[in-house]
Structure 1
C-alpha cells in the first residue's frame, strides 16, 4: 500500500487508486489462506515461488505499472439501479477492476500460460479481489474515488478515499493478527453464499456502499467517533467477504490442479564482483543471513541518523521485513526512494534479530518503474 495522506494523494491520482492499505490487504489475504483447500494452497505456493498470499497482497500497488493502473477501480456515475449498473460496467471496456479480474483468471486457467505469467496473474488476482470490495474503488471519476473530498479525522487532514483506505482501520488500533481474528466471523452458510456471488455482484455491493458514503459527508467535514462506529462494521464485512471470496476463486481455479514444480530461488553471477547472487523474496530474507542476495520491496520509511540512513522495506518500523543501511555514496539515494519500490543487492546480516543489508555504493540500489 501506498503511504497515507500526501503519498496517496500524489501517487493515487497518477497511477490509479489504492485500496485497504497495508493492513487491510494483508488481512484479506490471511483470511483467504484460512479457507483454501490443501491442494489449492500447494498450487498457490508453487506459482508464487514459495511466497505467501499475505506477503504478495500489496505487490500490485508496489509494482506501479502504468499499463495496469486502471485495473484497480471502476468509475461510474451515481444513481444507477442494478440493471443500469450491469449495462454500464459491460460497456466500459477492458481497463477496470472487473475486466482485470476476468483477464487474470483466464490467464490462470490457460494451460499455455508460462509460470512467470501465472505468477504475475495470481499476484494481481490476490490484490484486485481486495480492491473490488473497497467501496471507494467503485465510485465517481470526477472526485477520483473520493481523493479530492477533503476531510479531518483524528486531528489530521485526510480525504474520503484515504479514510476508507486505512484511516478507519488504523483508528481501530488492532494488530494484523487481531484484525483477522475479529473480522473473519462468517459461518459455513455465509461462506457458501458469498462464494456463490460473481465479481459483478461484489462490485455492485461496493457501488451501493459508496453511494451511501458520498451522501454521508461534505468536503471539509470533521469525521467524528459516531461515523467511525457506524462504518467500522462495514469495513469488517467487506474485508471478510473479500478474503472468503478470494479463497473461493482460488479453490475453483486450483483445487483440481496438480501443483507444478517451480524453483523458489533464481541465481545469477554479478559480473563486477564475481559474487553468486541469489534472487530472494523479501519475506524469505531472514533465512538468507550470510548470503549475497538481490531482493525487491517497497520502502515504507526512511530515517537519516547522521552517519547512516535507515530504510525499512516491507513495512514500517518495527515491523519491517528488511532494513537497508545506506552509508557513504549510497546515502545520496535516500531522497529518491521514499515510498518507492526498490531492488537492493548485498550481504544479509543479522542485527539484533532483524535482517539488514549495508550498502555503501549507490549502484547497489535500483528504483523499480
Structure 2
C-alpha cells in the first residue's frame, strides 16, 4: 500500500511539473533539433561545444528544470511577457524582467563574450529556451488570465487549462517523437520561408502572437476540447514551431559565426 501511494504521489508531481513546461519537453527538443539542422556547420559546432554534454534540443528544457532551484528565482518572469495589442510596453511588464528584455540582453551578452564557460553555457541555454517560449502564442499574454492558465477546461476528457493545451497537450496528442515531427516539418522549410521569418524583429514576433488570439480563444461554451480544436489549430502549432526553429538558427548563427 505504501509503495502504491509513493507511485501515485510521484505521478502527481510529474504531471504538475509537466504542465509548467512551456511547449512541453517534446516541443523544446523539436525546435532545437530543427534549428540545429538549419544552422551553419561552423556555428553549430561552436554552440555544441559550449552546451556539451547537452544537445541543442536538450538544452531547451534546462530553464524549466531549474525552476526547482531557488537560486534561479530571478528568472521566473523571463518566460513570458504581456502585450495588449502586439506592441511592447515596458510599463505593464513584471518587475523581475520578461522574455522580450531577457532575449535582447542575453543576445548582447553572448555577442560581447568575456564570459566564463559556466556563464556562457547558462546564458546560451536561457536564450535558446526563451526564443522557443515566445513562439508559443500564450507566452505573449493579455495580462488578464496568466497566459491562459486561468482558463480551466477539459482536453480529451482530462482536466487541464488553455495554456497547458498549447504548451504540450496538442503536440503530445500527435503521438510522435520530436525527430519524427521535426523531419516532417523540415520538408516545408525552403528559402522563401526562411527569408520570410528571418526578415523580422522580436517586435514582429509579438504581433504574430497577438494576431493568433482569436483562434486560440475560440472555445465552446462547454469548455470541452477534443479532436475539433486540435484539428483547427494544428497548422498554427506547426507554423509556430517552424518559425521558432528558423529564428533560433538565425540568432545562434549570428552569435557564433
Return the TM-score normalized by structure 2.
0.86
Corresponding residue for residue 204 of structure 2: 201
- Choose from 51, 63, 67 the match for 2:74: 67
Corresponding residue for residue 177 of structure 2: 175
The number of residue pairs the alignment matches comes to: 240
Q: How far did residue 220 of structure 1 move? A: 5.0
Partner-residue secondary structure (3-state), 1:191: helix
CA separation of 1:145 and 1:5: change in aligned 2, threshold 3 A: farther
Q: State whether residues 77 and 96 of structure 2, in contact with CA within 8 Å, keep that contact through their aligned partners in structure 1.
A: no
Corresponding residue for residue 110 of structure 1: 112
Corresponding residue for residue 147 of structure 2: 145
Separation (CA, whole Å) in 2 of partners of 1:103 and 1:211: 31
Tell me, which stretches of 5 or more residues in structure 2 are unaligned?
1-12
Partner-residue secondary structure (3-state), 2:46: helix
What are the residue-to-residue correspondences of 1:20-39 with 2, within 5 Å? 20-39=23-42
Give the aligned CA root-mean-square deviation in angstroms: 2.2
Q: State whether residues 82 and 92 of structure 2, in contact with CA within 8 Å, keep that contact through their aligned partners in structure 1.
A: no
Tell me, which stretches of 5 or more residues in structure 1 are unaligned?
13-17, 256-369
Hey, which of these two has a bigger chunk of strand by percent? Answer: 1
Q: How far did residue 76 of structure 1 move? A: 3.1
Q: How far did residue 154 of structure 1 move? A: 1.3
Corresponding residue for residue 229 of structure 2: 227
- Choose from 163, 166, 170 the match for 1:164: 166
CA separation of 1:118 and 1:243: change in aligned 2, threshold 3 A: same
Partner-residue secondary structure (3-state), 2:159: strand
Separation (CA, whole Å) in 2 of partners of 1:200 and 1:139: 14
Higher relative contact order (CA 8 A, sep 6+): 2
Residues 265-300 of structure 1: per-residue CA shift (max 9 Å, x gap): xxxxxxxxxxxxxxxxxxxxxxxxxxxxxxxxxxxx
Q: How far did residue 141 of structure 1 move? A: 2.7
Partner-residue secondary structure (3-state), 2:153: strand
Separation (CA, whole Å) in 1 of partners of 2:241 and 2:143: 24
Return the TM-score normalized by structure 1.
0.61
Separation (CA, whole Å) in 1 of partners of 2:96 and 2:34: 29
Q: How far did residue 211 of structure 1 move? A: 4.6
What are the residue-to-residue correspondences of 1:1-369 with 2, within 5 Å? 6-7=16-17, 12=20, 18-64=21-67, 65-77=72-84, 80=85, 82=86, 85-86=87-88, 88-89=89-90, 92=93, 95-184=97-186, 185-214=188-217, 216-217=218-219, 220-255=222-257
